[in-house]
Amino acid sequence: MPRFLPPWLEEREEMKPDMMVTEAVPRKTAGMRRLAQSPVMLNWMYLPALLLFAVFIYYPFFRGLLISFTDWDGYSQALHYIGIDNYKRMLSDSRVHTVIINTLIYGVGSTLFQNIFGLLYALLLNKHGKGKTFVRVIVYIPAIVSPIIMGYIWYFLLQYNGGAINDIITAFTGKPVNLLADPKVNVWIIMVVNTYQFLGIAMMIFLSGLQGISKDYYEAAEMDGATPFNRFFNITFPLLAPALTTSIILNLIGGLKLFDVIAALTNGGPGYASASLSTMMYQLYFARQDAGLAASLGNLMFLLITAISLTSLYFLRRKELSQ
């Protein structure tokens, strides 16, 4: 199996060929019957899915590579090749640099906070106290609401005129702040909204990780006189490593492709100041008919997301194994 595949691949323990059902087939079945029984005949079952993948993922992917070397406008019939000009333009454009940094803030920043708070919440809501289920439900609900709607909900808090947060700011300073129009602030606000929305997922992953840890470890540690601090860093945290891996990878992929919340709150503005690679690509294509450049940006995004998630996966897995 290729090394670059996602984690869930590695978790799947392989069945040995000698366990294959073929051996149960009696020898005497011959001819057509044997062909019908051959396991190869089962492979028709994945053909519909494979066809869909070929048409809607792999074909567009390779065509996208071609389009990124053209100056296509999005509708004309002929493709005119211009070599690597789009990539040169992209990498020398300072707006693209800002957008890459924003994308990293959305991806890496949200992941960091989602995991810190997700872990804290999981520890808080694991064993002690009343009303745990209620709090879990409240924290998790945002994750099942559409991100574009979550964006509108936060718009009511962040609005300049009469926004809920600005009511508080006005009460202290006397005048409202235009939170969504200030490029120094709005990028971080978008990151916070994304963190708020999906930290419930991290919390749930950590909770199911915590529930898998046997009580025996803690009892043994208590006998040895370990402090709560010691117990956390020597038992809980190492045993949560697989949960941490899952949570980090999911949040990274989700944050790096962020689109909806940005569309709802700032539409990437002012200019491209709060845009992510996704929203910039969308605008280049639909508003500016710069399809060639949009396709290059798409490829850059693909490269960035794959590189970041596979590298973190590699290091997280290695850390898991060493423990």
Residues 213-242 that bind another protein (CB under 8 A): none
**Interface with another protein (CB under 8 A), residue from 91, 148, 230, 315:** 148
Is 60 an interacting residue with respect to another protein (CB under 8 A)? yes
Nearest by Cα to 110 from 195, 203, 197, 199 = 195
**Interface with another protein (CB under 8 A), residue from 19, 78, 223, 321:** 19
Nearer to another protein, 129 or 225 (CB): 129
Is 102 an interacting residue with respect to another protein (CB under 8 A)? no
Is 307 an interacting residue with respect to another protein (CB under 8 A)? no
Residue 163 CB, shortest distance to another protein, in Å, is 7
**Interface with another protein (CB under 8 A), residue from 15, 30, 78, 223:** 15
Is 8 an interacting residue with respect to another protein (CB under 8 A)? yes
Stretch that binds another protein, among 10-18, 94-102, 173-181, 232-240 (CB under 8 A): 10-18
State how far the Cα of 317 lies from the Cα of 95, in Å rounded to an integer: 35
Is 56 an interacting residue with respect to another protein (CB under 8 A)? yes
Nearer to another protein, 101 or 138 (CB): 138
Is 132 an interacting residue with respect to another protein (CB under 8 A)? yes
**Interface with another protein (CB under 8 A), residue from 18, 21, 215, 216:** 21
Is 121 an interacting residue with respect to another protein (CB under 8 A)? yes
**Interface with another protein (CB under 8 A), residue from 81, 152, 233, 237:** 152
Is 169 an interacting residue with respect to another protein (CB under 8 A)? no
Give the footprint of another protein on residues 269-298 (CB under 8 A): 278, 281-282, 285, 291, 294-295, 298
Nearer to another protein, 39 or 271 (CB): 39
Nearer to another protein, 105 or 196 (CB): 196
